[in-house]
Amino acid sequence: MKIEEVKHTTKSQRIAAHSHVKGLGLDENGFALQMASGLVGQEQAREAAGIVLEMIRSKKMSGRAVLLAGPPGTGKTAIALALAQELGSKVPFCPMVGSEVYSTEIKKTEVLMENFRRAIGLRIKETKEVYEGEVTELTPAEIENSFGGYGKTISHVIIGLKTAKGSKQLKLDPTIYDGLQKEKVEVGDVIYIEANSGAVKRQGRSDIYATEFDLEAEEYVPLPKGDVHKKKEVVQDVTLHDLDVANAKPQGGQDVISMLGQFMKPKKTEITDKLRQEINKIVNKYIDQGIAELVPGVLFIDEVHMLDIECFTYLHRALESTIAPIVIFATNRGKCSIRGTEDLVAPHGIPLDLLDRLMIVRTMPYSKEEIQQIISLRAQTENIQIEEEALAKMSEIGVKTTLRYVTQLLTPASILAKTNGKEKISKEEVDETHSLFFDAKSSAKILAEQKDKYMK
């Protein structure tokens, strides 16, 4: 009899460069802890980000911009992502890279505007009249097809709904029966039906049917309290870009021309300025009436020096708009020429008039101790065990080379350790891995020494 080993069923999660970042790591007074929430060092930059966070929460930051400037590998993207984590999932965070604007399908300004609108949320509160409860009966009543033929059509559907307080029987239109089928509603499900539109929403299975299994496909919800017929406040979170896209699609009927229009459309559709202005009008009307509130999110533009002079002039206008998100730029360039100009040199490759508007936050290179802390943090995240001596050696390499290079050595070193039959990475594996792979500085040195052997 052959015995096979069964593999463990837990999924291995892919670990990204910033998987360990969970927040800004500040105490209750807004001071940065030396190592907290996955961030190490950069106390001043993190405290500055903490002030920005408070300004965003109190909605006093709209239309302003922040620039994170510092050498490569000093945690600019990590701070921006930590800020997004602190804001929570309800506040939109839209990351992009400067080179994204050079799309072949749509204009540069359109890409920027699209991302601007993605970073602005709208929270719509509606009080709807609904019938809510657990389905106790679901009986479609059929009649002969009025158009002749043998098929039968549904004339109406009888549904029984039960809450903790009472129960009701409803006679519904056949169109609502289609909605019930789409939502896959069965007896025992908790649903609500909007009284005016007839829209059906399944909330989950009633928890009376819950079993003792820990993991199930079903989501169990408690039996609704109150009457079956009630007023319910429904909150929806959308971004302005969602509204743009929804209104930009052809609202065609069933005729051939509108169907063709939908198929013939290119992949990306440019949304006209006129449509956006109309949407802004409606949004402003909703805000004035108190139906909706704006949730200005964060637009993070990494490698901002990749934008050209046209984009920068456009950003001026976009930042001054009444509906504008918080914009965070990041760059690792010093003085360099502004893209799209012949000889204009500016700090970070950003025109001086735009630099004037920015609150600039500096990130500093890491010390040897901080590099050591970051390596041990990454090792924990990647489930790699490392000896103290090897950790010290890695931090030494990190000071001479770069932080990015030394964190990339972790996984190859752990593979070497396993090959050598060790549980932990020792100093020998670190030395061997360092000799196998080159960092940017040593590679450049070899190229300079052996330039005659390489092609020009």
Q: For residues 427 and 432, give the distance between their C-alpha atoms in angstroms, rounded to a whole number.
A: 9
Assess whether 314 and 401 both reside in one domain: no
Task: Supply 11's token pair.
Answer: 């999924």
The verdict on residue 309 lying in a domain is yes
Which helix or strand (DSSP H or E) is residue 126 part of? strand 120-144
Which helix or strand (DSSP H or E) is residue 56 part of? helix 43-57
The verdict on residue 302 lying in a domain is yes
Q: What is the CATH number of the domain that holds 392?
A: 1.10.8.60
Assess whether 86 and 130 both reside in one domain: no
Q: For position 330, what pLDDT does the model report?
A: 93
Assess whether 425 and 343 both reside in one domain: no
Range of the domain at 420: 368-439
Q: For position 297, what pLDDT does the model report?
A: 84
Q: Which residue among 237, 254, 279 closes a domain?
A: 237
The verdict on residue 254 lying in a domain is no
Pairing of strands 200-206, 189-194: antiparallel
The verdict on residue 447 lying in a domain is no
Q: What is the CATH number of the domain that holds 139?
A: 2.40.50.360
Assess whether 64 and 113 both reside in one domain: yes
Q: Which residue among 193, 215, 237 closes a domain?
A: 237
Assess whether 310 and 399 both reside in one domain: no
The verdict on residue 92 lying in a domain is yes
Q: Which residue among 328, 346, 362 closes a domain?
A: 362
Q: For position 12, what pLDDT does the model report?
A: 52
The verdict on residue 14 lying in a domain is no
Q: Per the structure, how many domains does the chain have?
A: 3
Assess whether 110 and 167 both reside in one domain: no
| pLDDT tens for the chain, residues 1 to 456 | 666 655 554 445 567 777 778 888 888 888 888 888 888 888 899 999 998 888 888 877 776 789 999 988 888 888 888 888 888 877 888 889 989 898 778 888 888 988 998 988 888 887 778 888 888 888 888 777 666 566 677 778 888 888 888 888 888 887 888 888 888 888 888 888 887 777 888 888 887 777 666 556 677 788 888 787 888 777 788 888 888 888 876 555 555 555 555 555 555 667 888 888 888 888 888 888 888 888 888 899 999 999 999 999 888 888 888 778 888 999 999 898 998 888 889 999 999 988 888 889 999 988 888 888 888 888 888 888 888 888 889 888 888 888 888 888 888 998 998 888 888 888 888 899 988 998 888 888 888 888 888 887
Q: For residues 222 and 202, give the distance between their C-alpha atoms in angstroms, rounded to a whole number.
A: 13
Task: Supply 21's token pair.
Answer: 């970042």
Assess whether 54 and 149 both reside in one domain: no
Assess whether 345 and 379 both reside in one domain: no
Question: Which pairs count as long-range contacts for 171-180, CB under 8 Å and 24+ apart, including other chains?
Answer: 172/198, 173/198, 176/200, 177/140, 180/138
| Dihedral sign for Cα atoms in the order 269, 275, 279, 284 | positive
Assess whether 133 and 227 both reside in one domain: yes
The verdict on residue 45 lying in a domain is yes
**Which residue's structure tokens are 């190229």?**
447
The verdict on residue 221 lying in a domain is yes
Assess whether 94 and 162 both reside in one domain: no
3-state secondary structure of 101: helix
Q: What is the CATH number of the domain that holds 98?
A: 3.40.50.300
Prediction pTM value = 0.72
Task: Supply 262's token pair.
Answer: 């939908």
How distant, in Å, are the alpha carbons of 138, 154, 160, 172, 224 from that of 166?
17, 28, 11, 19, 10
